[in-house]
Amino acid sequence: MFDSYMHNVINFLAALFIVGVGLGLLTIIALYIVDIRQTRHTIRRNYPVIGRFRYFFEHLGEFFRQYFYAQDREEQPFNRAIRSWVYRAAKGLTTDVAFGSTRALNTVGDCHFMPAGFPLLEEHTQPTPTKTIGAHCLHPYQAPAFFNISGMSYGALSGPAITALSHGAAAAKCWLNTGEGGLSQHHLSGQCDIVFQIGTAKYGVRDNEGNLCPVRLKAIANHSNVKMFELKLSQGAKPGKGGILPAAKVTASIATTRGIPQGEASVSPNRHRDIETLQELIDRLADIRDITGKPVGFKTVLGDTQWFSDLCAYMATLSSEQLPDFITIDGAEGGTGAAPQALMDSMGLPLMESLPFVVDELKKYNLKKRIAVIASGKLINPSAVARAMATGADFVVSARGFMFSLGCIQAMQCHKNTCPTGITTHDTRLQRGLDPTNKAVRVARYHAQIIKEVDMLAHSCGAAHARQLTRKHIRVITETGRSALLSQVHPEPIKMVSDKK
């Protein structure tokens, strides 16, 4: 009986095999006919069926390079060494490495911190002090941390991802920027400090015509967790172009949060329609401050440097109460948002060129003490954050660093609604893998390790805390292959106006 049973099984498997082979041959024949008759793809027409593998391998190429072929310091936009540091920090693992650095030490533009002859002993160091933004406002903000979460919209990111960031920010005692997509319950879930960003489409605070609505703006300000308002002029991912959210990502919840129709692509204007001059920019910031009673600033990617110089000259004629409370400078290094490659690759100045210029212009016109500078742009590891602080930034914000802490694997699918880690997709099946409770802990750990190691760099340079870092603590590799002090590359400016009493 057993032999008979096995005979039947073998016959069944053989039949399945024959059917499978037959179906496979039929499929190949069908694909062959399709390929030789179509006229859109030359490779497929000249090499039927086999030519299809070219597109498949092209798609897989970026993933194979990431895991098998690229060296630790080769990949873009973030190499494996930097990503691995973030992953270890977020997981609470050691960030120590052995046998020397894999980083090239002579690349033009790279920085080297200068250890003091006698670094500070642990007992002589100090916690990095908090800093007040908007001291003249009705509700100033005592910002507890110098490292914070940059703007990432609900829509660009999933609900679970925003929830994890909110709870993680609360645990880390740092702020969370909403991005231009409005304030959602996911942002509020962790009761963290929030910076509400007003984009060019005024999502979340717009009327039916897309104009800024004072009533809705006031309603947002009534949330005690909302500490500041940021008017976004431009961002690193797409300077000169508004935000882009594909129709597939505009769910009912996102449509309600933004105040737009569900299931329709959401494209912001490339600038604020109600701001065309320097005076209108300052007046709009003043309007928002008057309505909310909270600190207000703007975010921009520097391009036309004369524009910013003219702005500083104009602001120097105003009273201290009329000035922006902060300016966020975003670099052209790109960001979390999807954008046309021409803009992503070629538009705007890199942060390490624009940041010192902005800081120096503010100092030249004696505005720096009144206006806080927030630096943004590929600042996800301790040395990058410390360099920005030494250059003159009062605060540093990061988006992609915190995405890595959530588990981002740099799959480069942020705009396709197919993110395999559930961070930038609204596919509930993919979101299921992201546990906000677990990821919130990782967000807080990553933040804590950044603070710890930036302070460690400061102590090694002889500074008591991170805010004491200056350009004299860093040397930069120049085109000659030798280094120069950052204070020599970007010397202190001569003031154009005297101190205001």
- For 239-267, give one letter per residue: b (16+ CB within 10 A) or e: bebbbbbeeebbbebbbebbbbeeeeebe
- List % helix, strand, coil for the chain (3-state, nearest 5): 45, 15, 45
Strands 147-149 and 141-143, by their bridges, are unpaired
Contact 193, 183 (CB under 8 A): no
- d(CA 285, CA 290) in angstroms, rounded, equals 9
Q: What is residue 501's predicted lDDT score, i.e. its pLDDT?
A: 41
Residue 312: what pLDDT? 96
Q: Per-residue pLDDT for the chain (501 aa), expressed as one digit of tens each?
A: 656 766 666 777 777 778 778 888 888 888 888 888 887 666 677 778 887 776 666 556 555 555 555 555 556 677 778 888 898 899 998 888 777 777 778 788 888 999 999 888 888 889 899 999 999 999 999 999 999 999 999 888 899 999 999 999 999 999 999 999 899 999 999 999 999 999 988 999 998 888 999 999 999 999 999 999 999 998 766 666 677 777 777 888 888 888 888 888 877 888 888 899 999 999 999 999 999 999 999 999 998 899 999 999 999 999 999 999 999 999 887 666 666 777 777 778 889 999 999 999 999 999 999 999 999 988 999 999 999 999 999 999 999 999 999 988 787 777 778 888 888 888 888 888 888 999 999 999 999 999 999 999 999 999 999 999 999 999 999 988 899 999 998 888 877 765 554
Q: How far is CA 76 from the centre of its chain?
A: 15
pLDDT at 9: 67
The residues with which 476 forms a beta bridge, in sequence order, are 111, 484
CB atoms within 10 A of CB 299: 27
CB 320 within 8 A of CB 370: yes
Phi/psi region, residue 171 (left: phi>0; alpha: psi -120 to 50; beta: rest), is alpha
Helix (H, G, I), strand (E, B) or coil at 431: helix
DSSP string, 270-293: SS-TT--SHHHHHHHHHHHHHHH-
Distances (CA, A) of 417 to 60, 87, 201, 263, 422: 18, 23, 22, 13, 9
Q: Which residue has the tokens 């302070």?
A: 455
- In terms of Cα–Cα distance, which of 452, 384, 359, 466 is closest to 129? 466
- Alpha carbon 257 to its chain's center: 21
Where exactly are the structural domains of the chain?
Answer: 2-69, 123-489
Q: How many CA atoms lie within 13 A of 80 on its CB side?
A: 12
Per residue in 191-245, pLDDT (tens digit) is: 999 999 999 889 999 988 889 999 999 999 999 999 999 999 987 666 666 777 7
465: alpha, beta or left? (left if phi > 0; alpha if psi -120 to 50):
beta
Rounded distance between C-alpha atoms, residue 453 and residue 110, angstroms: 18
487 — phi, psi (to 5°)? Answer: -70, -20
pLDDT digits (tens, 9 = 90+) for 153-199: 988 889 999 999 999 999 999 999 999 989 999 999 999 999 999 99
CA distance linking residue 393 with residue 402, whole number of Å: 19
Task: Look at residue 314 and give its three-state secondary structure.
Answer: helix
What is each CA distance from 68 to 74, 82, 83, in whole angstroms? 12, 17, 15
67 vs 409: CA distance, rounded Å: 11
Count of Cβ atoms closer than 10 Å to residue 440 Cβ: 24
What distance in Å separates the CA atoms of residue 105 and residue 477, rounded to the nearest whole number? 9
Homologous superfamily of domain range 123-489: Aldolase class I (3.20.20.70)
Verify cis geometry, omega within 30 degrees of 0, for the bond prior to 420. Answer: no
pLDDT value, residue 163: 96
- Give the residue carrying structure tokens 């993933």: 63
